Amino acid sequence: MRINELFPYIGKIESESLRNKTEKVIEYALRGWNEKDIKNIPFTLLVETEINLIDHINTVTELSYSIGLIMKKRGFKINMDYLIAGAILHDIGKFIEYEKKGDKIVQSYPGKLVRHPVSGAGIAMRFDLPVEIVNIIAAHSKEGEFVKRTPEAIIVHHCDFIHFENVKAL
Ligand SMILES: [Fe+2]
């Protein structure tokens, strides 16, 4: 499966080196999953939902991208490459946190010990992504209350909750 079909906004990352590193992180995180299952992973196990993880990641990426452009227009310094890569990778650790058991998706043992913001940040560091992107991944959830969020991380954090809270409200 082509990564840019799963995550079309990857093509909007201007830096080729960053695009390649982002793909490496995705390939690594997805290595234990087959093509059919990848599209059937729920984006959260906290609420009942039909919305899958790939769709959630793409929704958060599109929301973040639009807001990034608006903020840039207003003079805020937003690194769009960091924003796009960080949004695409913010939940990449969920491919480690979750596993398939029978026909169900459940939290894995590694996922019980290391939540996805931490495992995702770990994978990003392993592939030498900039620390600003590691910040977006590590700080997108409540873990981010203990560190400084960059402007790009603030955007992804809120877009993540915009989607999550709206799904919860359905
Ligand atoms: Fe998310």
pLDDT tens-place string over residues 11-47: 999 999 999 999 999 999 999 899 899 999 999 998 8
In a domain, 8, yes or no: no
In a domain, 99, yes or no: yes
Mean pLDDT of the chain: 96
Which tokens belong to 124? 């990003």
In a domain, 110, yes or no: yes
In a domain, 5, yes or no: no
In a domain, 6, yes or no: no
Decide if pLDDT at 160 tops 90.
Answer: yes
Q: What is the pLDDT of residue 161?
A: 97
pLDDT tens-place string over residues 94-121: 999 999 999 899 999 999 999 999 999 9
- C-alpha distances in angstroms, 28 versus 8, 38, 106, 120? 18, 13, 20, 11
Q: Tell me the pLDDT band of 4, cut-offs 50, 70 and 90.
A: very high
Hunting for tokens 């990848």 — which residue is that? 38
Which tokens belong to 106? 């459940």
Hunting for tokens 């590193």 — which residue is that? 21
pLDDT tens-place string over residues 42-61: 999 988 888 999 999 999 99
Please tell me whether residue 104 adopts helix, strand or coil conformation.
Answer: strand
DSSP, res 9: G
Decide if pLDDT at 135 tops 70.
Answer: yes
In a domain, 136, yes or no: yes
Going from the Cα of 128 to the center of ligand 1, the distance in angstroms, rounded, reads: 22
DSSP, res 93: T
Q: How many CB atoms lie within 10 A of CB 163?
A: 20
In 3D space, the residue among 52, 10, 44 whose CA is nearest the CA of residue 27 turns out to be 10
Going from the Cα of 90 to the center of ligand 1, the distance in angstroms, rounded, reads: 6
In a domain, 81, yes or no: yes
In the chain, the number of structural domains is 1
Q: What is the pLDDT of residue 155?
A: 98
Domain coverage including residue 44: 13-168
- Specify the CATH number for the domain of residue 99: 1.10.3210
Q: What is the pLDDT of residue 47?
A: 87
Residue type, 22: T
Going from the Cα of 14 to the center of ligand 1, the distance in angstroms, rounded, reads: 23
Please tell me whether residue 140 adopts helix, strand or coil conformation.
Answer: coil
In a domain, 32, yes or no: yes
Going from the Cα of 91 to the center of ligand 1, the distance in angstroms, rounded, reads: 5
Q: What is the pLDDT of residue 1?
A: 67
Going from the Cα of 164 to the center of ligand 1, the distance in angstroms, rounded, reads: 7
The widest CA-to-CA distance across the chain, in whole angstroms, is 51
Percent of the chain with pLDDT over 90: 92
CB 87 within 8 A of CB 61: yes
Which tokens belong to 145? 């209350």
What CA–CA distance (Å, rounded) separates 52 from 56? Answer: 6
In 3D space, the residue among 168, 130, 160 whose CA is nearest the CA of residue 144 turns out to be 160
Residues near ion ligand 1 (CB < 5 Å) are: 91, 160
What CA–CA distance (Å, rounded) separates 114 from 137? Answer: 14
